């Protein structure tokens, strides 16, 4: 098994299959992004081999991310191949985070491959505001994706980045809508990764304030529900749905971190908020045997830090880390 220096068992791997996306969300990336040359990306067969090595070392949950993972050509074949680990019992869950735009085309095949739930990013239900936030996206695309996922029998969790002065007037209504539709909902504080077009400090909305506001309208019952990710949950008594909070800034979630992130180029980040990384592409390609790869994974986990150092610095507009979330794996 993979055990870090702080006795945490690493059982969750998030895998970015592309840094590309069909949206350009204002808090995530600049409008005119320079993406990695496609030649630098791992092949999907290499991604499969890497994921399988981690499963062999005790990883029980795989989440496929991006960028937008469903824009990568052939990615459904990767889900179908990784589904063998679900069938063998070696893997508990195979899932993905998506903006929803491609789900009308892919939801049925994802379900057939073994995916049972998806996280869909949705920061507003106002079409004009949605266009401003995503720059290139259309709300009707995402709503059609949500409908397709539900029709395919996939459970849906909505992820909403809380943005001051942007969607803070919709917080209560989003809780009501998710309750009526039967979706769980997670609010996320904006994360200081990568250069964007603007000042991220202007967007930052502490979720402690959001939670206090919600208590004025809803009864929030504490919950011990865990999905393996960083969210801490309550149950909205009036709707019966779960409501999560991801708070990397107001309250970090490091003490129980069981996650590592693999980029589309084969770089392993042991912590989202630290620059230390391990090159897994070289040992992967060096030999058809996984011996060197497994050794490199163990060595990397041995360097996993206790926690991250995220901070929103109001004196400077620079991000805490230079790399974009779409590179690390959202």
pLDDT digits (tens, 9 = 90+) for 99-129: 999 999 999 999 999 999 999 999 999 999 9
pLDDT value, residue 254? 74
Residue 131 lies inside a defined structural domain of this protein: yes
More confident position, 249 or 179: 179
CA distance 263 to 327: 6
Residue 5 lies inside a defined structural domain of this protein: no
Residue 144 lies inside a defined structural domain of this protein: yes
Q: How many CB atoms lie within 10 A of CB 29?
A: 25
pLDDT value, residue 250? 57
More confident position, 49 or 328: 49
Sign of CA dihedral 201, 207, 212, 216: positive
Residue 134 lies inside a defined structural domain of this protein: yes
More confident position, 169 or 251: 169
CA distance 156 to 153: 9
pLDDT value, residue 83? 98
Least confident stretch, 27-41, 75-89, 210-224: 27-41
Residue 3 lies inside a defined structural domain of this protein: no
- Nearby residues of 12 by Cβ (< 8 Å), 6 or more positions away: 59, 60, 61, 63, 228, 229, 258, 259, 260
CA distance 311 to 308: 9
Query: Whole domain around residue 111: which residue ranges?
Result: 12-328
pLDDT value, residue 323? 47
Alpha helices in the chain (DSSP H): 44-56, 75-88, 103-113, 127-134, 139-151, 171-181, 207-215, 281-286, 291-301, 325-328
pLDDT at 320 over 70: no
**Residue with tokens 């980045």, as numbered in its chain:** 161
Extended beta strands in 172-301, E state: 184-189, 220-222, 232-236, 242-246, 259-262, 267-269, 277-279
pLDDT value, residue 25? 86
Of 22, 26, 11, nearest in space to 190 by CA = 26
Say what the pTM is: 0.88
* CATH code of the domain in which 31 resides: 3.20.20.70
Q: Report the b/e string of 107-133 with b at 16+ CB within 10 A.
A: bbebbebbbeebbbbbbbbeeebbeeb
pLDDT at 319 over 50: no
pLDDT at 28 over 90: no
pLDDT value, residue 27? 83
- Nearby residues of 80 by Cβ (< 8 Å), 6 or more positions away: 109, 112, 113
Confidence band for 231, pLDDT divided at 50, 70 and 90: confident
pLDDT at 251 over 60: no
Computed over every residue of the chain, the mean pLDDT equals: 89
Residue 4 lies inside a defined structural domain of this protein: no
The domain tally of the chain equals 1
User: What letter does residue 17 receive in the DSSP assignment?
Assistant: S
CA within 13 Å, CB half, 31: 9
pLDDT at 258 over 70: yes
* Per-residue pLDDT tens digits for 275-296: 899 999 999 999 999 999 999 9
Parallel, antiparallel, or unpaired: how do β-strands 220-222 and 232-236 relate? antiparallel
CA distance 8 to 4: 5
pLDDT value, residue 242? 96
pLDDT value, residue 195? 53
* Per-residue pLDDT tens digits for 160-213: 999 999 999 999 999 999 999 999 999 998 875 545 455 556 778 999 999 999
> Is-contact 18 65, C-beta < 8 A?
no
CA distance 91 to 256: 20
pLDDT value, residue 310? 52
């Amino acid at each position: 098994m993979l055990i870090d220096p702080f006795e945490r068992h690493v059982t969750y791997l998030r895998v970015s299959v592309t840094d590309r996306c069909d949206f350009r969300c204002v808090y995530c990336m600049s409008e005119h992004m320079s993406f990695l040359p496609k030649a630098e990306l791992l092949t999907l067969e290499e991604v499969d081999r890497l994921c399988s090595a981690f499963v062999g070392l005790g990883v029980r949950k795989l989440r496929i991310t991006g960028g937008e993972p469903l824009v990568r050509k052939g990615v459904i074949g990767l889900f179908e191949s990784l589904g063998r680990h679900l069938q063998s019992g070696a893997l508990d869950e195979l899932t993905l985070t998506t903006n929803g735009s491609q789900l009308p085309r892919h939801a049925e095949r994802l379900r057939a491959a073994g995916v049972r739930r998806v996280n869909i990013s949705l920061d507003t239900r106002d079409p004009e505001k949605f266009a401003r936030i995503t720059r290139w996206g259309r709300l009707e695309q995402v709503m059609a994706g949500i409908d397709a996922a539900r029709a395919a029998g996939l459970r849906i969790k909505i992820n909403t980045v809380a943005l001051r002065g942007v969607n803070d007037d919709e917080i209560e209504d989003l809780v009501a809508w998710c309750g009526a539709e039967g979706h769980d909902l997670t609010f996320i504080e904006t994360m200081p990764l990568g250069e964007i077009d603007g000042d991220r400090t202007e967007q930052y909305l502490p979720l402690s304030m959001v939670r206090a506001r919600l208590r004025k309208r809803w009864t929030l019952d504490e919950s011990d529900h865990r999905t393996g990710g960083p969210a801490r949950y309550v149950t909205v008594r009036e709707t019966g749905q779960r409501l999560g909070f991801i708070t990397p800034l107001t309250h970090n979630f490091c003490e129980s971190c069981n996650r590592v992130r693999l980029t589309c180029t084969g770089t392993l980040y042991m912590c989202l908020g630290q620059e230390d990384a391990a090159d897994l592409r070289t040992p992967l390609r060096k030999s058809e045997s996984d011996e060197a790869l497994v050794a490199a994974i163990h060595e990397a986990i041995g360097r996993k830090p206790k926690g991250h150092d995220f901070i929103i610095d109001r004196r400077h507009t620079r991000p805490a880390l230079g790399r974009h979330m779409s590179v690390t794996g959202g």
